[in-house]
Amino acid sequence: MGATISGEVMLKTPIVVVNLKTYKESTGENALKLSMLIEEVARKYNANVAVCTQHADIFRVASAVEIPVLAQHIDPVSPGKNTGWVTPDSVKSAGAVGTLINHAEHKIPLEQIKKTIEVARQLGLATIACAADVEESRDIAALGPDMIAVEPPELIGSRISVSKAKPEVVTGSVKVIKDVNPKVEVLCGAGISTGDDIAKAIELGTRGVLLASRIVLAKDQRAAVEDIVKGI
């Protein structure tokens, strides 16, 4: 078992990170119920999992579960006159132990990624930065996030796993990331739908996956979570 030692709670690997996004099925009380279900299944299989919730749900979820809770985004700003921005201090106070950065649905410039990683590190928040391809993976690795999740945007939300459809993107990203910064852990996402997809991703050199709709939108969420975590 490996681990990345950022944040006040370690994100142990191999890991399944479930991004709840902003679906109705994972908002408010639904976010709480799903997170509790994910935690229950993770304990059953002794698997490492984490959830990324909407900012309004961080406190609700983090107060009820012991698995790591992450924000879906933060802005590199300090407390003060920043109406409408998401301060790292606020998500930490709400119970988050880390954050996603630069998700395909919330892209930010490289300089902003750098500043966000720096301010998160100062507060002890773990960072999972998303990258679309090998080139972006290389650029972000130089900034020193704790993890990089490689997600070709065209496969996000599909049932076509990046680990099977574009294994070269995964292996290529793993190589350049480790060449630039061996301390950065690599995840992959986009189209991850089954435990087999995760097993394949780990064969390709990753330490886990970032996924969303396969679990959030499943008719049987428990069965979906069990299938996924068994792959890890």
103 is catalytic: yes
Torsion of CA 114, 117, 122, 123, to 10 degrees: 150
Dist CA 12 CA 206 (whole Å): 13
C-alpha 97 chain-centroid distance: 12
The catalytically annotated residue of 39, 103, 136, 185 is: 103
Kindly name the residue from 39, 73, 136, 151 that is annotated as catalytic: 151
CA separation for the pair 213, 229 (Å, rounded): 15
CB within 8 A of 186, min separation 6: which ones? 147, 148, 149, 150, 173, 174, 177, 178, 205, 206, 207
Q: Are 168 and 137 in contact (CB under 8 A)?
A: no
d(C-alpha 57, C-alpha 47), whole Å:
23
Assigned token pair, 229: 């975590």
Residues annotated as catalytic are 103, 151
